Amino acid sequence: MRLFLSLIMILSLTLNSQARSKKKVAKFDPVGKKLFETNCLACHNPIQAIAGPTLHEINKLYEKNANGIVSWAKKPGRKRTEGIAMPAMAHIPEKDLKLIADYMLYAGSRVSRKALRKVNAFKEELGRIQRTFMPNSSVVSFAIKYSDDLSLCWDGEKGITRYIWQGKIDPKTHFTGNGKVIPTIEGKVIFRSSESMFVGLSPKVNYQGYKVSKEGLPIFYYKRADVQFSETHSYKTGNISWKYKISGLNELKIKLPKLNLYKTAANKGSIKNGLLILDKQELKDFTITFTKEK
Amino acid sequence: MKKLILLLITVFLLSVNAGYKVERIVTPKGVDSQIGGLDFMPDGRLVISFNYGKIFTYNPATKEWKLFAEGLHLPLGILAVNNHEIMVMQRPELTRIIDSDKDGRADTYMKFNDDFGLSGNYHEFAFGPVKDKKGNLYIGLNVASNNGGILEEPRGKYLSYDIDKEKLEGDYDQKLVKKTVTRMYSCVPHRGWIMKIDSKGNATPFASGVRSPNGLGFDYKGRLLVSDNQGDWLGTSKLHHISEGAFHGHPASLIWKKGWTKDPKKMSTAELNKIRKPAAALFTHGILANSPTQPLLDTTEGKFGPFKNQMFIGEMNLKRLLRFIPDEVNGVLQGTLVPFLDGNDLGNGNNRLAFDKKGNLWVGKTHLSWAGDKGLKKISWDGNVDFDVLKVKQISNGFRLTFTQKVDHKTASEINNYQIQRYNFDYHAKYGSPRNNLKSIKATSAIVSEDGLSVDISLPELKQGFVYQFEVNKLKSNSGEVPANSLFCYNLIELMK
């Protein structure tokens, strides 16, 4: 019982201290609260953005302007391109809309900074391999993080590296919404391509999947016509390596990629007319490395 | 003070549905807890896909979370194959994810099937898979929305009777797209279809005409049921009974039918209506559900209540789960939808459902920037059976209502205690529909069965193509209980012959 009384006292003190604040709306009608919960809460959470803006944000937009909320609710426009447009609340009588608006401002004005900080502090870490839509690539793309300063976009439709950039995906654009926002990349692009480096092979790729190496990077498996590929990505001491195992060919010519500020080399084959040429035996296991120039 | 405490206790008890306890399960720290997929592995671990790409296992006994896989592209469905392998539906493909060294962490992600188009439109979600008794998998492919364009490098052949591909790409002209492109569109194969994928990974287009099939499940007879969300061509949300080759009503998908050459936009509603298969059940919008999700068969053999052979269905928008009570008439599946569980303890956003071996129902939540929520809840049953509607069966001149407990003879025999309305919905290109042809119907008799568990309600007439909505809040059980859920809706497609 003592505990219960203490809780009541704490609650009462909290409410009193909140009521003293000038910016906070002093009171609300419980009917407005009920109407809000029935009609609006599913999309307008006090602190957490779901479909529509939070009550905290609405209070900032419409401070002391409940009628502004009523007008908007009767005939909503569209201010944000993300998510869905708000449906008109014309079926709710105007006096009820006003009660709802008053409650929204009341509740919005009472959102504590601590609660806001807690919500905004959320930061999910992206793994080293992330499938996602990406700019300037096909809809089947992978963001591969070699390091925080170096990432690669791999295109599963073409079976190629589309670009390499000095940074990573902007997490804000990944952890948002329902896919309408295409994640953006942060950092300078140092390599870009839209064609396979394997000369004369079918551009059509049958992407098969990938395994995750101990390093946490992908070993891709794919086929071009009857030619089977495995492609192992590795990143050590600032240098990139792509190790290949290719079967189904007697010879293959490769146009080696050139990365800005990196030196390209292959551990097998010979260079003729600017192309790396590998025979059947060499194709079984060879590595292309990109070493950072000093 | 005693009175205050009693009041608080009463309020608390009222907020908990009798018989069912809802418990919030704390999800892994630092992971957005919107849940797209939920299943149990044979060893009892729960496997959950979170929308932004991570998959965790959860051991209910030890309450331990463990990262199983990561890096997936909006995984909205999961099927546990065994203790070390799962099948996941992510945006671009159905993927086998395998923990080959059995250390609890997956290392192999192999494509199982990607034989469908992907334009890059945000609304092209992919749902499933569910498995039939022969080992075939079924997935559902959303149509695109004209609230968004497509990416410049889609997968699959582009086809549109509305607009050139270039005009949908990148920084497209939103006004032009809104004006010229149908509200929902299917510009790559086979958006708006349910696909069947055999055990070797080969896909066949199975049925067309779905809009947003966010929830697939087999019923007790192995029939595939799929929920679909209110919108254009859906006057209200539906529970489809999917059958091979059928067209389920949303016309955007038709352009991918083999041999199809017409622009569906130029077809009359009557023409489309003629070829569509009506839904098994209709979720009256605003009354039953606004955004239904996964149907899940009660396989608990009585561990979760007396609802054997019925399906539980999630709901995103309202704080609710529903039940589907099947009724087969002339070989056609139709039936009744009734709320099952409501309230703040449950909350909204109820997207994915799975039963554990003990018969507890686990509910994963999501919002995907629509109305909804996030997190995980577990619902357990304490063995007490509420007074509730158990079965609704069409009889020659009305309906037989069967209850979970014996009815109070006096209230159940009074015809005025059954408020019955019938109505239907428009089938049209507009978004949603009001309840049309609304008519209150007075029962002509209400006859209680000898065992006291059923009441035969006779009506002046029964009409095909109508939802029959019952409100029975004035009924009582013979022990004086009021119905736990007093409103339910029967979708009458077929009249008994």
A115 touches chain B (CB under 8 A): no
Distance of alpha carbon B294 from the chain centroid: 4
Task: Name the region of B136 (left: φ>0; alpha: ψ -120 to 50; beta: rest).
Answer: beta
Residue of chain A nearest B118, judged by CA positions: A139
Q: Report the percent of chain B where pLDDT is more than 70.
A: 96
Considering CB atoms only, which of A126, A138, A177 is closest to B153? A138
Contact B367 A174 (CB under 8 A): no
Annotated domain spans of chain B: 22-369, 389-492
Closest CA to B194 of B119, B245, B258, B160: B245
Instruction: Give the per-residue pLDDT at B487.
Output: 98
Instruction: Give the per-residue pLDDT at B8.
Output: 40
Burial class (CB in 10 A: 0-12, 13-18, 19+), A12: exposed
- Using a CB-CB cut-off of 8 Å, the residues of chain B touching A127 are 53-54, 70-71
Taking the CA of residue A229 and the nearest CA in chain B, the distance in Å comes to 14
Considering CB atoms only, which of B109, B148, B154 is closest to A209? B109
Burial class (CB in 10 A: 0-12, 13-18, 19+), B440: exposed
Banded pLDDT at B7 (limits 50, 70, 90): very low
- Using a CB-CB cut-off of 8 Å, the residues of chain A touching B106 are 212
Closest CA to B362 of B6, B46, B12, B100: B46
A133 touches chain B (CB under 8 A): yes
DSSP symbol at B477: B
Contact A127 B154 (CB under 8 A): no
Mean pLDDT of A76-81: 72
Distance of alpha carbon B487 from alpha carbon B284, whole angstroms? 11
Annotated domain spans of chain A: 14-120, 129-292
Residue of chain B nearest A180, judged by CA positions: B122
Residue of chain B nearest A210, judged by CA positions: B109
Rg from Cα positions in chain A = 29
Spatial strand order of the sheet with B137-141 comes to B126-131, B137-141, B193-197, B203-208
Domain B22-369 CATH class label: mainly beta
pLDDT tens-digit series, residues B161-217: 999 999 999 999 999 999 999 999 999 999 999 999 999 999 999 999 999 999 999
Residue of chain B nearest A127, judged by CA positions: B71
pLDDT tens-digit series, residues A249-289: 999 999 999 999 999 999 999 999 999 999 999 999 999 99
Instruction: Give the per-residue pLDDT at A121.
Output: 54
Instruction: Give the per-residue pLDDT at A78.
Output: 73
| Measured CA distances, B455 to A158, B14, B440, B461 (Å) | 64, 28, 19, 17
B10 compared with B65, residue with greater pLDDT: B65
Alpha-helix residue ranges (DSSP H) falling in chain A: 2-20, 30-39, 55-61, 66-74, 94-109, 113-120, 171-174, 280-283
Residue of chain B nearest A48, judged by CA positions: B373
Instruction: Give the per-residue pLDDT at A260.
Output: 93
Give the angle subtended at the CA of B481 by the CAs of B451 and B467, to the nearest 5°. 75
Is residue A229 predicted with pLDDT exceeding 80? yes
Residue of chain B nearest A219, judged by CA positions: B108
Indicate if the alpha-carbon torsion angle B330, B333, B338, B341 is positive or negative. Answer: positive
If you count residue pairs, one on A and one on B, with CB atoms under 8 Å apart, how many are there?
Answer: 124
A50 compared with A220, residue with greater pLDDT: A220
Q: Mean pLDDT lowest for which of A71-75, B124-128, B129-133, B323-327?
A: A71-75
Given this chain, do its domains B22-369 and B389-492 carry the same CATH topology?
A: no
Burial class (CB in 10 A: 0-12, 13-18, 19+), B305: buried
- Using a CB-CB cut-off of 8 Å, the residues of chain A touching B201 are none
Q: Give the largest CA-CA distance in chain A.
A: 90
Is residue A47 predicted with pLDDT exceeding 90? no
Contact B92 A156 (CB under 8 A): yes
- Which fold, A14-120? Cytochrome Bc1 Complex; Chain D, domain 2 (1.10.760)
Taking the CA of residue B277 and the nearest CA in chain A, the distance in Å comes to 29
Taking the CA of residue B370 and the nearest CA in chain A, the distance in Å comes to 4
Is residue B325 predicted with pLDDT exceeding 80? yes
Instruction: Give the per-residue pLDDT at B257.
Output: 97
Is residue A20 predicted with pLDDT exceeding 70? no
Taking the CA of residue B27 and the nearest CA in chain A, the distance in Å comes to 13
A182 touches chain B (CB under 8 A): yes
The yes/no answer on whether domain B389-492 falls in CATH 2.60.40.1220 is yes
- Using a CB-CB cut-off of 8 Å, the residues of chain B touching A81 are 174
Instruction: Give the per-residue pLDDT at A52.
Output: 82
